[in-house]
Amino acid sequence: MMHLLGNIYRMPVQFKLLVGLSALGPFLAIGGVLNCGISEVMACENQYGHAESTMELIHVVALSLPILFAAGLIVARRKSAAYAWLVGYILYCFSPLALASFRGLEPQYHDQLLYPLFASIPTGIIVYIYLKISRVSRQWFQLESVGD
């Protein structure tokens, strides 16, 4: 545990920002659902905001947890962290669509939910490429700590 705290202290600033935002992912997803901040397309008269039941809320949280796991891999300096982060980010981007798929929204509303997804996936790919080819990233993951 102490070596993970030491890794956070020694981590480059851009990785600290990435890990911090990734750790906030599940909380942002819950907040967006409960505060009706996802889309104007879906009704928001429910007890759980956009979610009609606790199960829908759990699905949104479950789709946003892999990015939290990927943040832990970045802190632990695992080389697979870039792959895990990309998969976690794409799943996180799909979490608002999970609510729409439960309800069977009419096809004319799908575009309004897909535009943010199509805008955020290139961002995830750019961050993934940065994690794979940048000099800072290679130096960070080169010295993989295995339980110092």
For residue range 86-135, what is the model confidence (pLDDT) as tens digits?
Answer: 999 988 888 777 776 666 666 666 667 677 778 888 998 999 999 888 89
What residues contact 103, with CB distance under 8 A and at least 6 apart? Answer: 42, 52
**Residue 53 near residue 60, CB atoms below 8 Å:** no
- Residue 139 — very low, low, confident or very high, per pLDDT cuts 50/70/90? confident
Q: What is the pLDDT of residue 141?
A: 83
Distance between CA atoms of residues 68 and 24, nearest Å: 8
Q: What is the pLDDT of residue 125?
A: 92
Distance between CA atoms of residues 126 and 25, nearest Å: 18
For residue range 67-81, what is the model confidence (pLDDT) as tens digits?
Answer: 999 999 988 888 888
Q: Phi/psi at 121 (nearest 5 deg)?
A: -65, -45
Burial tier of 11 (Cβ tally within 10 Å: 0-12, 13-18, 19+): middle
- Residue 44 — very low, low, confident or very high, per pLDDT cuts 50/70/90? low
| Cα 135 to Cα 16, 35, 73, 112, 125, distances in angstroms | 16, 40, 18, 38, 17
Indicate the pTM of the whole model: 0.77
Answer with the residue of higher pLDDT: 31 or 76.
76
Looking up tokens 């997804």 gives 117
- Residue 50 — very low, low, confident or very high, per pLDDT cuts 50/70/90? low
Over residues 29-45, the mean pLDDT reads 66
Q: What is the pLDDT of residue 148?
A: 44
